Structures are given as C-alpha cells and as structure tokens.
Structure 1
Amino acid sequence: MKIAALVVALLPFLVAAAGAAEGPRNVVLIMADDLGIEGFGCYGGVDYQTPNIDKLAATGLRFTHAYSQPLCTPTRLEIMTGLENQRNWRCFGILPPDQKTFGHLMQGFGYATCIAGKWQLQSYDPPDFPGAAERRGIGMHPRDAAFDAYSLFHSLHTEDKGSRYANPTFLRNGKLHQAVEGKYGEDLSVDFLLDFMQEHRDERMFVYYPMALPHWPMTPTPLSLAWSDPSRRQEVSPAHFPDMVAYMDQLVGRLVQGIEKLGLREDTLILFYSDNGTDRRITSRFDGAKVQGGKATPQQSGIRVPLIANWPGRIPASVNSDLIEPSDFLPTLAALAGKQLPAAWRTDGVSFAPQLLGEKASPRSWAFFWYDPRPGWDKEKYGRSIFALDHQYKLFEDGRLYDIAGTTLRETPLDLQQLTPAQQAGRDKLQAVIRQMMQPPLSAAAQTEVNAFGEPVSQE
C-alpha cells in the first residue's frame, strides 16, 4: 500500500516528466532574408530596432553558434531537403523537382502545411543569359512542394517576378496576382499565414515563413516617412535598411500576436532563423566595432546567423552554444513530430529537438559547407568554397585555417608553419570532416566545377 500511495503521489510529476518530451502541436519556422547576428539587439547589435525578436530570445532559447550557407538558394535548398549542397545542387535559384522537402515530411505526418514569403526555387535565369535554355523552369513549382496553401514571391520566371515589397506580385494557390496597388508584400504574407492558422486551428500545423525582408532592393516600408508618397515607394537606397529591419521585426511581432489571439500560442513552437549574412552594402556596429555585411562570402559575417526558439511554458529562457546548420532542421522537425524519418529519406542533419524539449542531446561537433552558387545569372563574380568548422577553428579545403572561437564574428588566420599541437589536432579533425563529406553520393555540380554560364571551369 505504501508503494501504491507513493506512485499516486508522484503521478502528477511522472505525467509532467513524460509530457516534457512531447513535441509542440504547431511549428512556425520564420527565416529572415539577408541578416546576420549583428542585426539583432539580442546578439549585441546596436543599430536596429528588433524588440519583438529580442523578446523571443529573452523568453526562449537563443543559439549562439547557428550557421547558414553564405547565400539564399544554398541555404533554402539545404534547410528544406536536409541535405548538404554537394548532394543535390544543380544551379542557382533551383530546387530539383525530384527532391523531397520538409513540406512533404510534415504533410506525410498529418500536419496541415503552409508557406508564404519568398520562393525563387523554380526558374531563375533570364532568357537571354548564356546557357539559360538548359536551366529555366527546371526547378520545383511550389504546388509540388507539399504545402496545402502557398502565397509566394518569385514563383515563376525571374523576369516576371515583379516587386516583393510595394505593389507586390505573388503567386497564391495557383493564381498570379500582379502589382497589387497600395499593398506591401510582407503584410500580405503575414495575413495569409494567420488566415491559414485560423482555418486549420483544430489541426496540427507546420507553417513556413521565408521572409523577403530585408533583402535588396532597399526600399521604404510602411514605417518609413517616404511611404506616405506613393511615387517614392520603389525608391532604392541603403538608407532604408534600418526601416526594413524594424519592419521585419514588427511583422514577427504581429505574427506572434496573431497566434496568441487565435489561442494557439501555448501549442506553438516558433523558430526564427536567417538564410545568410547581411548585404555587403551595409555596415553595422557590433561587438564594439563596425562590421561589413558578409553575404555571399564564407566569412563568419556571411554564415553566422540567429537561431531563436520560443515555446511558452516549455522552453525556459536560456542560451545554447551547440553548433546548428541548415541540414539539421529536417530531422529536428521529424523528432518534434514524434516520428522517425522515413527509411527512404537521407539527411546530413543532426536533430536539435533534444535541446528544445529539455532532453539529453548529442549535438554535432562540426559543421560542413559546400558552397558554389554557380551556374546562374549575376553569379559571374562567385567561386567555390569548401570548408568545415567547429567551435574553435575553420578550415578550408585549400588549407587555410582560422581561429574563430567565441560568440562574435572574429576570425584570425593561423600560420600553418607554426601551429600548436592543439591547432594541429583541430586541423586534422576538420580535414577528416571534409574528406568524409565529399564522399558519394555527390551531385553532378559537385563533381564538375562550372562557371556562371554552366561551362566547365577547365575550358575557360
């Protein structure tokens, strides 16, 4: 009887402990477009107003060592498929139609799925760009990406994309809306997401918001004084960048508040991430110095990005230094759904669900990058970078080694002729990672390097 009484007394605690491992009913993944950690107050940035995102960080889990690829398509391809780019890269602006996305994954697990924001994964090259005939329209149309509803900028050919901001053009559930007068594209995206969540509030939901903000062109937002003059709404200037960051933050706040009004906040995990570093035309104050944006470069300022997880009552306010990379999101979503990845699915990712659910984690000890945005229009100035990193070092395939320890954007080159034993051990470890990750299966693009026009580099 004493044992039975003890079990009864402990039952509430046992139930609570068991429930702690259960995933959220809804997951909302927000991804900013072109903003590194220096753009956020919660990471130490001082130039931009981000109170809503900072609040998510202050009341949730903030990762200090989250990474992305240096440019948008590489990250978008990796995060959606769970595969490093050397596995499935074809060309810029393309998600190969034979791939499975996390939309397919979550839809298969019984979630209602929705996406709004930026696509740019179906057709990218303009018709007159050399080699374009081989690449136009070869990607995945959003209707095939397993989202029950979609409203997306740049879903068709590049020359037809229109504006992503003022008077936006977007493809919504198969219908093209062109130059919608007087509207701001990101407002319509948030409206669409909240309408979807209201309609499906009794179901489990996976909602993906790949934002357009604060990507170039840098134009006025509804917060800007220039917005009051319709003739200035397409005005392009880096001077508008602070307003774009502030409006991005305001939209995140509006989405969070909308989820609260629907009565879904306690059941919803919100993840906030970014696809790459800040535009190089922007310089920001961070860590007591001025930092030039590193977008499209393999510098720390091009790849170190925010990752914030917020789930009221389930994720305590905390900071985590585990390494996270884009391929990790797909297995994390599967784990949050309480499922195993289907047997036919391959992933290079490591789930960070244990860190979110308060369980013992086995985090990755390194992150790998195969980065080459070619072939593709306006990619003539880019090249290939293959590298790996951990908390202490970053090693490139060509032998360059950097000390990157810390939570800022610091990277110090090391002299390979004067390495300490610890530095040599770090180099050896990352060399092994690069060798391991460059084993098959490799995409054709990873096997044969080409220029922006799709011509083998050896023929240049």
Structure 2
Amino acid sequence: MKPPIILSSLALFAQSLGALEKPNIILVFADDISARELPLYGSSSWSPPAGGDTNDPAYRAHTPVLEQMAEEGCWIETAWAATVCSPSRAMMMTGRYAHLHKWWHNKDVGLAPEPNPKKQKWNLCDSSPIQLGHVAQKAGYATYWAGKTQMPGDLRRYGYDEGCLTPGNLSDTDNPFTDFKHFYKKVDGKRVLFDVDTGKEVDTYQQHGWYWYPHVRLMNAKGKSGFQWWPNTEESIAEFGLGTYGPDVELDFVFDYMDRQKEAGKPFFIYHCSHLGHDAWDWLNPASSSKWPGTPVIKWTGKGYERTTPHITGDQGKYETHGTVTEPGIHHHVNYLDYQIWLYQKKIEEMGIADNTVLIFCADNGTSGYGKSSSDRQKGTHVPLIIHAPGLTKRGKQDILVNLSDFLPTIAELTGYQLPADYEINGESLVPFLFSDKTDHRDWIYAYQKSETLIRGRKVMKDGRGKWWDVENTPADLISFPQIKDWKALSPEHRAERKKLTGIIPRFDLHATQHDAPANK
C-alpha cells in the first residue's frame, strides 16, 4: 500500500495544471556557457572577451529575467554536462552515458556495428532509438528543433516534426544567400582555410555564420517534406541581409510553430539549441581577438527590454555597425539569452498558456577558454540550470546534484510517456523532486571525456585527471576546491563516499573495452 502522506508527484503536477493533461515544454539549451557566467551563481570570476578569467564588472553579464525566473521557479547549484558539445548533446538527447551511445568526445565516436567496411561512426539514432523528440512525439506532442544540431545523418530521424537549423552541416556549402562561410583549398600542397567573404586566408576553424547574415535551413517547414534554405519567400529574401541575426530567426520560427500548435489544440515540445555562448569567427570584425562577436544592442528598462534594430553596411570584411551592435564578449551573449527568455515569457503570456508551460534554461558544457573540453575538476561540466513551471514545490536555489541525462526521463514523465522497462536509461526524473515534498534528487553525478571519467557526490569529486577534491563547501570562484591528498585527515563520510563512487565508475568506464558498437552476431 502506498503511504498516504502526500499525493504522488504526478498527481500533484496534474493538480497544479488543472484540467490540462499535458504541459507545453520549452527547453532552451545554450552553448558553451559555464555556470559562473551567470551572476546568479555568485562566482568571483568569469570570462573576458578574449577568454580566460576576470573579475572586471565591465564584463559581467546582466540577467534580470533569468534571475527572476530562478527566484519564482528554481535553480540548481550543481548541474553537470559532459565536457564538450557532441557528447553533452548525446547525453541530453538520449538520457544515456557514452558506454551506450558511444559519443566519447567530439571526434571520438564508436564505430557502427559490423560489417562496416567504411568504418562509419555509430549513428545516435541507432545506438539510442528513444530520444527527447521521440518521447514527446510518442506522447502526442508537436515537436520543434531550433538552432544548432551537432548531429549527423538525416536530421528527420531525431523525433522532430519541424526545425529551423543554423547553420546546418558544414557540408552544406551551396547556400546561395550568404558568403559568411569558410572553405579549404590547397596552397603549395597544404590545406589552407579561406574566408569566402574576403577571399583571404584565416586562422580559425572551419565554420559557417550562425550569428550575423546566417546560414539557415528549414526542416519540414509547414508540412513541406525535406530541407530548404531560408530565406524562402520573396518577402524574406528582400529582408535578409547583414543585419539578419541568426538567434532572432530561430525564435521567429519557434513562435510561429507555437502559434500553429495552439490553434491546432496540440501540446508542444520546443528543443531550442541556441548558438549563443559559442565562440565564432567575427565576420564583421575579421581582425578581432575576441572569441564572441557582438549581438544586437538591447537595453533593460526595469520593466522589459528594448532592442535596437541592427543597421550594418559594408562588404568584404569592412563593415560599419552604426552603434547597433555591442562590443564583443560572452557577457553580451548571456545578456541576449536573457532577452530571449523575456521574449519567451511574453509570448506564452500573450498566448494564455503561461499557467501550463514548463520553461527550462541550461547549457551544454563549460565556456570556451575556461572549461570547454577540460576534465580539470568541474570546469568543463558545471553548467547553469533554471526551471520554471506551474505547480513547483521548490523555489530559488536548490542544493542538489543534476545530470543532463536526467532530462529524458523528466520529459517522459512530464509528457506521460512510459519508457520501456528493458531500455537502459542513466538519468533520473526530476519530477518527484520538483513537484512533491521530496527533499533530494540523486547521490552522485557522472561525466566523461574520451577515456577519462569524472564523478562527484556531496563531499568528494574525482576529475578526469584522476585527482580527488573535497567539494563539501563551494569556493568563491566555484572551482578552487581543496585537493585531497590525505584521506585520513577527512571525515569517515568523505571516505565512505569515495568508496561508493569508486564502485560506480566501472559500470560506465568502458572506453578501452567497449569503445565501439556491439558486433553483429
């Protein structure tokens, strides 16, 4: 017999939503943003425009909307991703760790099952056929994917009805609308990268423009099967230009989709993978030493945001922004995300669905130049996480441990989808914690980078370099934990937790023995 002390978490959640059976869900997944970049987390240091560390308030983000969202909803003190983009997105989308989906690092992916004469990597849709989009679809939701994909193969296999994707794959070199892209050609027998816009050699990694003058591909746009470049109408072609900002385009398509689903009477799941936070070549300022190009100028008035319409002129690497684009820096990217969360809030209020919409903000890994691709302590894994939803029993700061793998079972429970009992999931649903009087979530969190494993509990942490750290108290910079060198000097609880975590690692530390997909029998 179930204890009669409280209603089940699902019953509490359903009660909070009244007659609505399925809440709308918006998941905003920012790119390369450490928790320390948000003032909410109270770090004593953050990232300057060229990367690294600073405590200069001029480079501190200003996020009034996210802070209000965290106060009215809740925010998680310790949420972990993997250390870099692809494996983090694989963890988020599948609810699994790399021992199952085989995405150990960006360029370290397990081979597909034999026979595999071309040595192809194992597609995530095959290694893990139940993902966020599939879960929502199977539960009767309309699903939309916006922004960065980072996924190979046919993007229509990932469980999304439609999408606005920027910039698409680097193989998509036939975009006729913008020359903000790079290409390789051989010079004196060497492969050299060039900027199409200027025709000059550049020292960066190959990329397409996903901020200004962006590459945008639509997937299954309004019932049209397949992919097409945007702009795709006479009006949008006429308006497209240097002042077109990719994050704005994504949000416009998301809002249109939300409107159409409300009209159709269907709940929706939005998976918005913003590029904001990711470093990029600055086509407007090719000589810039900053990692993060400027954004449209915005201003917080105390009641809302005002945005200056971008006005950019010039060509071939020589541009004038006429005061409508900010200086470079990740703080401006975080500010623009705050602006977009405000737009989301306004939109769901105007649609009359604020009392039955779940809004989540998080990021995929640590900041470039600080934590990205680092297995040192939790530099690469510690990301922001803010959740706002009707019926929450938690408010403000929550001192719990959360892993990106927790999102798939959480969204399954929110949407009412029952995961198969024999399908391995490594995450744990947050619903019981968020919507009942449960006081804790999980005892440990885990991450990976190639052959390196990271794990932490409430008192101790092992990083990817094999060092152990005392994490019972959080330092001012969120990272300078005391290294443990003498276990005898610590409490029995510290030693017991180390023993427990050490026993968990072998379940997932299979890079050396099970790197690739299981062979066909």
On whether the aligned pair clears a TM of 0.5, the verdict is yes
Among 508, 515, 521, the alignment partner of 1:437 is 508
- Residue 248 to residue 329, structure 1, CA distance change in 2 (3 Å): same
- Structure-1 residue corresponding to 2:379: 301
Range moving further from structure 2, 48-57 or 16-25: 16-25
- Structure-2 residue corresponding to 1:206: 269
Structure 2: distance between partners of 1:367 and 1:410: 19
- Structure-2 residue corresponding to 1:30: 28
**2:80 is aligned with 1:67:** yes
Among 154, 160, 172, the alignment partner of 1:141 is 154
Range moving further from structure 2, 202-211 or 397-406: 397-406
- Structure-1 residue corresponding to 2:397: 319
Range moving further from structure 2, 105-114 or 353-362: 353-362
Structure 1: distance between partners of 2:246 and 2:13: 43
Among 418, 443, 466, the alignment partner of 1:340 is 418
Range moving further from structure 2, 389-398 or 25-34: 389-398
Consecutive unaligned residues in structure 1, runs of 5 or more? 1-14, 123-139, 281-292, 373-383, 448-460
**2:455 is aligned with 1:388:** yes
Structure 2: distance between partners of 1:446 and 1:234: 51
Amino acid at match of 1:169: H
- Structure-2 residue corresponding to 1:427: 498
**2:444 is aligned with 1:366:** yes
Amino acid at match of 1:30: V
The correspondence of residues 27-176 of structure 1 with structure 2, limited to 5 A, is 27-45=25-43, 47-90=60-103, 92=106, 96-98=124-126, 99-100=128-129, 101-122=131-152, 140-157=153-170, 160=173, 162-173=208-219, 174-176=227-229
Aligned length: 393
Contact 2:29 2:362 in 1 (8 A): yes
Instruction: Give the deviation of 1:385 after TM superposition.
Output: 1.9
Instruction: Give the deviation of 1:71 after TM superposition.
Output: 0.9
Q: CA RMSD in A?
A: 3.1
Instruction: Give the deviation of 1:440 after TM superposition.
Output: 10
Contact 1:300 1:411 in 2 (8 A): no
* TM-score, L = length of structure 2: 0.69
- Residue 417 to residue 243, structure 1, CA distance change in 2 (3 Å): closer
Higher relative contact order (CA 8 A, sep 6+): 2
- Residue 430 to residue 18, structure 1, CA distance change in 2 (3 Å): same
**2:239 is aligned with 1:186:** no
**2:295 is aligned with 1:221:** yes
Give the structure with the larger helix fraction.
1
Structure 2: distance between partners of 1:34 and 1:402: 24
- Residue 21 to residue 203, structure 1, CA distance change in 2 (3 Å): closer
Consecutive unaligned residues in structure 2, runs of 5 or more? 1-10, 44-56, 110-122, 174-206, 220-226, 232-236, 281-291, 299-307
Structure 2: distance between partners of 1:249 and 1:203: 27
Range moving further from structure 2, 426-435 or 38-47: 38-47
Name the % identity: 26
Instruction: Give the deviation of 1:344 after TM superposition.
Output: 5.0
* TM-score, L = length of structure 1: 0.77
Structure 2: distance between partners of 1:423 and 1:314: 32
Contact 2:487 2:495 in 1 (8 A): no
Contact 2:74 2:387 in 1 (8 A): yes
Instruction: Give the deviation of 1:393 after TM superposition.
Output: 1.0
Structure 2: distance between partners of 1:356 and 1:274: 19
Instruction: Give the deviation of 1:257 after TM superposition.
Output: 1.1
- Structure-1 residue corresponding to 2:339: 250
Structure 2: distance between partners of 1:78 and 1:297: 17
Instruction: Give the deviation of 1:194 after TM superposition.
Output: 0.8
Amino acid at match of 2:260: E
Structure 2: distance between partners of 1:266 and 1:399: 46
Deviation track 1:133-154 (CA, whole Å, cap 9, x = no partner) reads xxxxxxx322111101111114
**2:277 counterpart SS class:** coil
Contact 1:315 1:357 in 2 (8 A): yes
- Structure-2 residue corresponding to 1:135: none
Instruction: Give the deviation of 1:40 after TM superposition.
Output: 1.3
